[in-house]
Amino acid sequence: MAVEAPSKHVYDYDDEDDDGPVVFKRSNTSSSKQNQLNSEVKKASSQRSDGQSGRQASSVRAPNGQNSVAQANKSIPPSKSPPIRSPILSPKSSNSSAKASPVRSPVVISKASTSLNDQSKQASKQNKFTSVKEEKSPIKRTDETNSDDDDDDDDSKPLSARLKGISSQGNKGVSTSTPAQSQRFVPKIEVKGSAEDPDDDAPLSARFSMKSNTGTLSSKPYGSHEKKPLASKIQQNGSIMKDKQQKSSMLSDKRPLDKGNSSDQSYAKKLKISDTPTMMKTKQVTVKAEKDEEDDHIPISQRIKKSVSSVSKTASLKQKATKVVSSSFKKINKKSKKDMKKSKYSKSTKLSPSSGDGQKKWSTLVHNGVIFPPPYNPHGVKMLYDGRPVDLTPEQEEVATMFAVMQETDYMSKPQFKKNFWEDWSKLLGRNHVIKSLDKCDFTPIYEWHLQEKEKKKQMSSEEKKALKEEKLKQEEKYMWAIVDGVKEKVGNFRVEPPGLFRGRGEHPKMGKLKRRIRPCDITINIGKDAPIPECPIPGERWKDIKHDNTVTWLAFWNDPINPKEFKYVFLAASSSLKGQSDKEKYEKARLLKDYIKNIRAAYTKDFTAKDVTKRQIAVATYLIDKLALRAGNEKDDDEADTVGCCTLKVGNFDFLGKDSIQYVNTVEVELPVYKAIGQFQTGKSKSDDLFDELDTSKLNAHLKELMPGLTAKVFRTYNASITLDDMLNKETKDGDVAEKVVIYQRANKEVAIICNHQRSISKSHSAQMSRLTEKITELKGVLKELKTDLDRAKKGKPPLKDADGKQKRNLTPEAIEKKMAQTNVKIEKMERDMQTKEDLKTVALGTSKINYLDPRITVAWCKRHEVPIEKIFNKSLLAKFAWAMDVDPDFRF
DNA sequence: GGTCAGACTTGCTGGTACACAG
DNA sequence: CTGTGTACCAGCAAGTCTGACC
């Protein structure tokens, strides 16, 4: 079968994580297409390159140990970018290239078509059966005339790139798009010329032009990297602390790993090997490319077949070698899970993409449980009711205080918050209490007491503060660590959440409700069978339950008092090997998508016009997830904030509240078929109806899994974020000092944040800061003017005028004055750039993408290649979290 | 096929320690 | 030395996704 080939590639790749002797060619775009099509060779090759680079690497510092002497400058790069959230694709933005039709935005229509075409071409080249992964697309268009080879490139390109401006999000403050714009997709009508729009080749992202400014994206050249090795090898995880491990890992990096992953073995216990590869292996999918219409009613999934074969071998090999239980075991029911515990190394033949269900996560686990907040200490300050002081019991006072301290927050203006608070508090007060209504309550005395306490704390001497801190540390020390399979690992959240008022985001229906105090009898502890059960810290009380489940990673959990159906877990810290391993798997999965993306795009593009509605909805939804980095959008209960994701978009949406009630406003141009399809989905529905009424996340993800093993909606976010970073860094890094390079990085980071709609609220002092800067600039300009006058006078041999205070200024030579002027100009420019940057970033949160979406190996490798100390990019906790990525080869590409 | 429990990841915020400019 | 600004981190809310169960 034709299929095989592809699969093979895949597998080989993985396996190989280690070796790959192929030649790497990263650069040519031109070649790219071909390469892609044919082979995964690329991957292999890339790996190879890794090896090489390893050598180079030597020059680079070892990640962990670096010292950064350097100084970095904090200077911020100037950015010219326009406000971030400009509407991206609105027609106006489009302009640029196409003058011809105003309508056509830089983006896309054409693009779509193009890509489609390309793909189809490719497809045609190939034959009918193809694995998705392979390049063959199921779709075939005969009409296509030319194919761009570049297309390939596109696929690998980041979305963002494709969007030239994704300007997506309106931020809270900044959305630029007009309501009208945001309301619907603007179809592009443009006649698309031939496929040749240059853009076509460009990745989607390129197609949207980003307004943001960074200006950097050029659309094209992407190609080069296309062929990075997919899998990099599975390296060990680098766990942070073990030297041995480290060493080995380093070694491994330096040269291509061998299949056996020998290096991995050593870690095996702690780390699971990344299964990603494994996972993928599980199912190989093939697409049957019948081009005809008939396909239309065949679900894509069906069109795709899986070929499983080769994989398992590899997988098992690996597993054995590592002795790690692969995460891939799937579908093991609970009982069997438990059984599995006993046989650590047993493996199921079923590999699953999911990360590890049923899989053993640890063999021995020792920890000390959790620490509780101190009991409430009454302050005795009386609040007023109807102007009179009221006596409250400590319990009543505690809750009143929770409310009082929130006086200055926005919650106080939310009726729902007050209503919920009152419901819970009045229960505590009892029916006969003097306090009958919240309206007559005056919490000011308590609030003032609170402010005083805060002030006192602030006024403490540094010694006192230090002493307190040490005291706290001493109490908490024992809870901070767990021993997992013999290795000391940090625990993430060992402190039980204190009681308080629930602070739901957005218009959460439960905001203001009392989050009661959690007691030991609410808590279930999970610990190794042979480990001592943690002593309950509250005398006379006991844990709710003790479990010894090594198929999960939590150390303890309790039910959320606000929503008892939900759980609050205590996990290991992000720096732990367990977390690191799954992090790595996540990125490996995203990297794998790179190999499938082209065909996935071709498939959904084809389905835009499918007869079957469900299929069409899946296609459009996938498109939106891919292009706009939307989240999947699970159904939500009525008692949650009203937010949506892709599958739950409403007919009237395109300005909606996403996770955390963050607004998403984006106007994009979409391909005509998408526009039409959306129009159809909207027909006959009201604004509040689901746009994708045939869809939910399970269906969508089930479908995605048929396209690529383990593929789910969120993988697109990771993929698009990481590929964008990789692409931008590689395209835009130029010679320069460290500070300049850091600026490049920040720009790329910002681009990703915009794509993912990562926002932050504008700091309270933002406007003050801006006006201060403006003032300073004005002042400097005044100085400049004065200098100019002095200069003119000096040239004529006259002394300078007196200064503002009437004092005589020093007599300077014209040269000296000119020098001063130049310095002042530099200062002004820098300030203006700083202002611009500050303005641009005022609503953009860079941290989230760094923590969750950007493969750290991209960053580490880039730092190594460009001699940028990694500490300039990653802070201490990120360094710990990404320890597993530190020994990546400098040539690593996503 | 749908629902739900369960487990884990993602995301924003606020407090604060610390760096820096004046 | 001091007031500001910011980076960092903890906290916890809010997502995603899987598998069991009906």
Let me know if residue A314 belongs to a domain.
yes
A32 is in which domain, residue-wise?
4-58+235-363
Same domain, A391 and A348: no
pLDDT score of A357: 56
User: Is pLDDT of A752 > 60?
Assistant: yes
pLDDT score of A550: 94
Q: Which residue among A363, A381, A407 closes a domain?
A: A363
pLDDT class for A839, splitting at 50, 70, 90?
confident
A126-140, A395-409, A444-458, A823-837: segment of lowest average pLDDT: A126-140
Smallest CA-to-CA distance from A155 within A646, A586, A587, A604 is with A604
Return the nearest residue to B20, CA–C1': A74
User: Is pLDDT of A714 > 80?
Assistant: yes
Same domain, A370 and A475: yes
Q: Which residue among A826, A841, A856 closes a domain?
A: A841
Same domain, A351 and A281: yes
Alpha-carbon gap, residue A369 to A535, rounded angstroms:
8
Is there contact between A765 and strand C, defined as CB under 7 Å from any strand atom?
yes
Q: Which residue among A519, A547, A574 closes a domain?
A: A519
Q: Which nucleotides of C are covered by protein (CB under 7 A)?
A: 4-21
Is there contact between A126 and strand C, defined as CB under 7 Å from any strand atom?
no
Q: How far is the CA of A565 from the C1' of B4 (A)?
A: 10
pLDDT score of A621: 94
* Of A131 and A690, more confident: A690
pLDDT score of A805: 65
Is there contact between A503 and strand B, defined as CB under 7 Å from any strand atom?
no
- Average pLDDT rounded to a whole number, residues A51-64: 31
Q: How much of chain A, in percent, has pLDDT values that exceed 70?
A: 59
Is there contact between A634 and strand C, defined as CB under 7 Å from any strand atom?
yes
Flag residues 389-408 of A with CB < 7 Å from strand C: none
pLDDT class for A44, splitting at 50, 70, 90?
very low
Flag residues 485-524 of A with CB < 7 Å from strand C: 493, 495, 497-498, 500, 502-506, 508, 515
Is there contact between A74 and strand C, defined as CB under 7 Å from any strand atom?
yes
Let me know if residue A261 belongs to a domain.
yes
Same domain, A368 and A506: yes
Same domain, A274 and A405: no
* Cβ neighbours, 10 Å, residue A457: 11
> What total of structural domains would you count in chain A?
3
Let me know if residue A866 belongs to a domain.
no
Same domain, A371 and A260: no
Which residues neighbour A807 within 8 Å (Cβ) at sequence distance 6 or greater? none
First CA to last CA across chain A, in angstroms?
29
> Structure tokens of A775?
């003032």
Is there contact between A127 and strand B, defined as CB under 7 Å from any strand atom?
no
Determine the 3-state secondary structure of A509 from DSSP: coil
Q: How far is the CA of A325 from the C1' of C6 (A)?
A: 44
pLDDT score of A797: 82
pLDDT score of A358: 66
Is there contact between A457 and strand B, defined as CB under 7 Å from any strand atom?
yes
| pLDDT tens digit sequence for A417-468 | 999 999 999 999 999 999 999 999 999 999 999 988 888 888 877 778 888 8
Alpha-carbon gap, residue A430 to A440, rounded angstroms:
17
Cα-based distances in Å from A314 to A6, A275, A404:
15, 11, 62
Spatial contact of A44 and A12, defined as CB atoms under 8 Å apart: yes
Same domain, A284 and A370: no
> Structure tokens of A587?
């990125």
Is there contact between A598 and strand B, defined as CB under 7 Å from any strand atom?
no
Let me know if residue A144 belongs to a domain.
no
Same domain, A502 and A430: yes
pLDDT score of A790: 84
Highest mean pLDDT (candidates A35-39, A458-462, A529-533):
A529-533
Is there contact between A583 and strand B, defined as CB under 7 Å from any strand atom?
yes
Let me know if residue A416 belongs to a domain.
yes
User: Is pLDDT of A259 > 80?
Assistant: no
Sign of CA dihedral A85, A87, A89, A91: negative
Smallest CA-to-CA distance from A344 within A318, A357, A363 is with A363
- Average pLDDT rounded to a whole number, residues A518-527: 96
Is there contact between A579 and strand B, defined as CB under 7 Å from any strand atom?
yes
Same domain, A350 and A452: no
Is there contact between A330 and strand B, defined as CB under 7 Å from any strand atom?
no
Q: What is the 3-state secondary structure (H, E, C) of A441-471?
A: EECHHHHHHHHHHHHHHHHCCHHHHHHHHHH
The CATH number of the domain holding residue A476 is 1.10.10.41
Give catalytic residues of A, as residue numbers: 853
Strand nucleotide closest to residue A586 (CA to C1'): B9
Q: How far is the CA of A826 from the C1' of C21 (A)?
A: 69
Let me know if residue A532 belongs to a domain.
no
Same domain, A797 and A823: yes
Same domain, A345 and A380: no
Beta bridge partners of A305: A286
Same domain, A388 and A296: no
Let me know if residue A48 belongs to a domain.
yes
Flag residues 462-481 of A with CB < 7 Å from strand B: 465, 469
Let me know if residue A548 belongs to a domain.
no
Q: What DSSP string describes A625-674?
A: HHHH---------TTS-----GGG-BTT-SEEE-GGG-EEE---EE-HHH
pLDDT score of A15: 32
Which residues neighbour A736 within 8 Å (Cβ) at sequence distance 6 or greater? none
Flag residues 818-847 of A with CB < 7 Å from strand C: 838, 847
Alpha-carbon gap, residue A62 to A250, rounded angstroms:
9
Q: Which nucleotides of B are covered by protein (CB under 7 A)?
A: 2-14, 16-17, 20
Cα-based distances in Å from A236 to A263, A265, A709:
7, 8, 22
Q: How far is the CA of A483 from the C1' of C14 (A)?
A: 30
Q: How far is the CA of A74 from the C1' of C5 (A)?
A: 12
* Of A470 and A879, more confident: A879
Q: How far is the CA of A374 from the C1' of B5 (A)?
A: 31
Is there contact between A569 and strand B, defined as CB under 7 Å from any strand atom?
yes
